[in-house]
Amino acid sequence: MTAVAVSAALLLAGCGSITLAGDTLKIVSDGTTVYVKGDKAFWTNQASVQAAPLIGDRWLKAPVTNASFKSLAEFADFDTTLTGILKPDGAVTTGTTKDIGGTPAIELKSGSGSLWVATTGDPLPLQISTGKAGDEVTFADWGKAIDVTSQAPAEKDSIDLSQLGG
């Protein structure tokens, strides 16, 4: 696992973004269909050099039941995402404190990892870590206003994977 940044504001609206090694993938789901969009760097680095020009700047569209996209669709479901990744896997104890993105946080340790929670303002989850360098998920954009009317892309801007053979 590599360091991942997650936009919490987008998750609340049924969409999200994941950054893997500096490459960002946008995700939108309406509960039946999932759309994903990466830039050329994302598709080149995370898929293949051949995939980038074929996909271009279009969204990939698939039913949420598509095996390859199911986990991405679940990621865009705020309740599923938080329930899955915030559930402790053992007894919870408090640990050290640190700043995450300029916000003071306290560590809650459980089994194989730690959850860092804001100690000022609302006690929001800020980061999850296994304790290994670079092995973390950081939540950002809590409270950020977003335009929910622009979630699902236009048909002309997407590639419908259910229409492709093989």
pLDDT at 29: 78
Q: What is the pTM of this model?
A: 0.59
In a domain, 9, yes or no: yes
Q: Is the separation of the CB atoms in 31 and 49 below 8 Å?
A: no
Instruction: Tell me the CB-side half-sphere exposure of residue 155, using CA atoms within 13 A.
Output: 1
The predicted-structure confidence for 71-104, as pLDDT tens digits, reads as follows 777 766 666 666 666 778 889 999 999 999 899 9
Q: Which domain holds residue 70?
A: 4-87+133-163
In a domain, 28, yes or no: yes
In a domain, 83, yes or no: yes
In a domain, 112, yes or no: no
The predicted-structure confidence for 106-143, as pLDDT tens digits, reads as follows 999 998 789 999 999 999 888 888 777 667 777 777 77
